[in-house]
Structure 1
Amino acid sequence: MIRTGEQYRSSIRDGREVWINGERVQDVTRHPMFKPLIDIRARIYDMQHEAATQAVMTYEENGQRHAIGSQLPFTSAHWEAKRKAVDTVMFDIGGVVTRVGDETVGEMWSLWDGKDILNEIDPRFAANIETHIKKVIADDPFHVSANTDPKGDRSKRPQDQDPDMLVHVVKETDQGIIIRGAKYETAAAYSNQAFLKPTIANWGDSKLSDYALGCIVKMNAPGVKHICRTGFAGR
């Protein structure tokens, strides 16, 4: 499936909790500090449908069209096709924009390549990453990557300072895990989902195991709060 720009905008008008400059944002698609980038992301979605750019922006598989940026790359031609799509977008918008979703899906491809290693740890992990990749291809979400942790005091363990500074598991239920903590992530406030992962070392320490987690987080999930820095636009 390939989405339209309006379908993307509608998907982020979902009551998510977004704050900027101390104020709650009621509609990120209309807020002057978010709207310019949202409009560009919406434009990319629309280019997937337009006759002049569809062949560059999408590929066909099993009778369905999908975003070229989400295609699993197996050959140099696949990478060249992605580069051509990026160039097409840059020429269309007449500028440079980053973090529009296509580049962050690639982090899951490395886990796809490492499925044998994941299976050695837990067979569910390889199956999960395959499920996530296929869902991105099928649903065409705006997918980002939640990497950067608040730094705090690097000489101390997370538990020896504010335990909620870094993302960690606080409870496990039959439906999954409940997590708490903070991440820095560009574009999270107007994306659909984020691939969350830890970025500090020494996960072999059992005392840190609750902090060693990777998962897909829906950006409108209950309890997710976006606290945004001031934007360059709309000042």
Structure 2
Amino acid sequence: MTRSGREYLAALRDGREVWLDGERVKDVTRHRAFRNTAASVAHLYDLAQSDEHRDVLTVDGVHRAYTVPRSREDLVARRAAYKVWSEASFGFLGRTPDYMAGGAAAFAAVPQVFTTGSFDGADNALALHRRLADDDLYCAFTITNPHSGEGEDDLVIRVVAEKDDGIVVSGAKMIGTGAVFADEVVVGTIEPLAPEDADHAVSFSVPTDTPGLTFVSRTSYEAQARGVFDNPLSSRFDENDSLLVCENVFVPWERVLTYRNVDATAAMWWQTPAYLNFVHQASTRFWTKLEFLTGLALLMTRTNGTYKLPPVTQAVGRLLGMVAQAKAFVLAAEASCEPVDGGRGGVAPGTEISYAQRIMAGELYPRAVREIKQLAGGAVIQLPASAEDLLHPELGPLVTKYLRAPGTAAEERIKLLKLAWDALGSEFAARHEQYERFYHGAPHVYLTMQTWAGGAEACENLAQACLDGYGLGTGQ
């Protein structure tokens, strides 16, 4: 049974160790840097219990993202659930609970990947899936290693001791997006490891209040927000990114997924449909985000009275084309779905299209932002410092008089432009542009992987067929 937003918030008050600005955060549900975003996540849980969305978001009492899809129709149903949640944050909450839920479902689809000659994590992977699904938990992950050089292996999470009932790990992982809001965190490594890196080849899932586990938050855009009117996105949808540090953290054996095996530690992401499931959720969210940004462009050009100018109309058409392109990748990945483990593990979105979506999204998002900034012009710069200017008895009438637009009251226009600036030009917006560029990894990684994903041979064969069709003796 899915839990309520209230139950989710109550679970966050567990004493987890979160640090921000040199301060230990006692309660993320009440702290000014996290409380609104926590409430936004809680709203997602409430949507799953609402009469309007229950049948879309859940099946047999669990969120659809936790189910193992058996057909294209199942993928379409799962995407419909992704769409509801992504629209609730206008695409700005990326690593919502349904993200890693898809990963856990992928583990359950091919549990044998976790079985090696020295350690069998298959039952643990299945137990992780059941636990997350049955208790409707929010699971985050940290899979990026800190940069280390020769002789600095102690920076990366590694096994420092082995006990009868579990292991002890120390070290760090980077970019724990959403981790401070999660119930559990999966710790692993997605990049290939060398055979001699067995000490670092470990994956596990632990509660976020585990002793010795510390989260060091980056700057909070929510904490810097003046309020919802002035910062409508950053004040409510700052999912945060944190450095995860383990200092002699004990992990019971039943929570270990891979152990001292470099192949299995990478295979859990690539030889299960985990990564493809991630892209399915992310591409749905990306489509939603472009819809939102394009809607902003439409509202601004109508307010500015420039909508019917030919160059503006063309720019809007280009943005709408980008939305259609993002949508097409989602639909194409579903239409080209592939059997998992010969069909025994259900189906997954098509690999070739899913990998190509990573290229499209990273390159398209900055173009879309740049296009909308051009349409916004200088209007997003000359704005009142805060809503207090509008409310002031003396200043308010001046602002109201001089910042209105034909047919649009000053308050309505300022509200729209502040939303646009928060999406396009604020520090929060800059983080999102950089994040979308690297959402699925660095370009040198995903561009290389696209070559392996399939399609190259067919392209080469078609060109070769043309060459084979004529020669020096071919008639004019």
TM-score (norm 1): 0.87
C-alpha separation in 2, matches of 1:120 and 1:226: 31
In structure 2, give the amino acid aligned to 1:187.
Answer: G
Partners of 1:105 and 1:144 within 8 A in 2: no
Q: Cα–Cα, structure 1 residues 59 and 25, in superposed 2: closer, same or farther, change >3 Å?
A: same
Matched residue, 1:175: 165
**Residue 184 of structure 2 aligns with which residue?**
193
Matches within 5 A, 1:215-226: 215-226=204-215
- Tell me which residue corresponds to 2:59: 59
2:154 to 155, 164, 168: 164
Structure 2 length-normalised TM:
0.45
1:233 paired residue number: 222
CA distance in 2, matches of 1:94, 1:108: 25
Q: Which one is further off, 108-117 or 194-203?
A: 108-117
1:211 has 2:200 as partner: yes
SS at match of 2:155: coil
Instruction: Give the 5 Å matches for 1:8-19.
Output: 8-19=8-19
SS in 1 for 2:108: helix
SS in 2 for 1:170: strand
Matched residues in 1 for 2:26 and 2:119: separation? 42
Change (3 A) 1:145 1:50: same
Aligned residue for 2:173, secondary structure, equals coil
Secondary structure at the counterpart of residue 189 of structure 1: helix
Deviation at 1:181, TM superposition (A): 0.9
Shift of 1:74: 2.4
For the residues of structure 2 that align with 1:58 and 1:219, how far apart are their CA atoms? Answer: 25
Q: Would the alpha carbon gap of residues 6 and 146 (structure 1) be closer, same or farther in structure 2, given more than 3 Å must change?
A: same
**1:89-104 correspondence to structure 2 within 5 Å:** 89-94=85-90, 96-104=92-100
- Give me the whole-angstrom Cα distance separating, in 1, the residues matched to 2:123 and 2:8: 28
Asked whether the equivalents of residues 203 and 212 of structure 1 are also in contact (C-alpha less than 8 Å), the reply is no
Q: Which amino acid aligns with 1:33?
A: A
- Which sits farther off after the overlay, 17-26 or 93-102? 93-102
Larger Rg: 2
Is the CA contact 1:73–1:79 (under 8 Å) kept in the aligned structure 2?
yes
Q: Does 1:149 align with 2:145?
A: yes
> Do 2:44 and 2:88's aligned partners in 1 also have CA atoms closer than 8 Å?
no
Alpha carbons of structure 1 residues 92 and 18: separation in structure 2 relative to 1, 3 Å: closer
Q: Distance in 1 between matches of 2:155 and 2:127?
A: 29
Alignment check: 8 A CA contact 2:3 2:136 kept:
yes
Secondary structure at the residue paired with 2:6?
helix
Structure 2 unmatched ranges of 5 or more: 225-476
CA distance in 1, matches of 2:84, 2:46: 13
2:172 alignment partner, SS class: coil
User: Per the alignment, do residues 75 and 143 of structure 1 end up closer, same or farther by CA in structure 2, a change over 3 Å counting?
Assistant: same
Unaligned runs of 5+ in 1: none
Report the CA distance between 1:77 and its aligned residue: 2.1
Q: How many residues were matched structurally?
A: 223
Partner Cα separation in structure 2 for residue 113 and residue 52 of structure 1: 30
Residue identity matched to 1:7: E
Report the CA distance shift for 1:40/1:211 in structure 2 as closer, same or farther (over 3 A). same
Query: Identity across aligned pairs (percent)?
Result: 26
> Which one has more relative contact order, counting CA pairs under 8 Å at least 6 apart?
1
Note the aligned Cα RMSD (angstroms). 1.9
Say which SS state the counterpart of residue 182 (structure 1) adopts: strand
Given that residues 165 and 181 in structure 1 are in contact (C-alpha distance below 8 angstroms), is that contact kept between their aligned partners in structure 2?
yes
8 Å CA contact 1:149–1:199 kept in 2: the answer is no
Q: What are the Cα deviations for residues 53-112 of structure 1, in whole angstroms up to 9, with x where unaligned?
A: 11111111xxxx111222222222222122111222233445532111211233334433
Q: How far 1:175 moved relative to its partner?
A: 2.1
SS at match of 1:181: strand
- Quote the Cα distance in structure 2 between the aligned partners of 1:120 and 1:26: 41
TM-superposed CA distance for 1:114, in Å, is: 3.7
Letter of the aligned partner of 2:201 in structure 1?
A
In structure 2, the CA distance between the partners of 1:134 and 1:23, relative to structure 1 (3 Å rule), is: same
2:320 alignment counterpart: none
Which range is displaced more, 34-43 or 103-112? 103-112
Shift in alpha-carbon separation, 1:229–1:74, aligned structure 2, 3 A: same
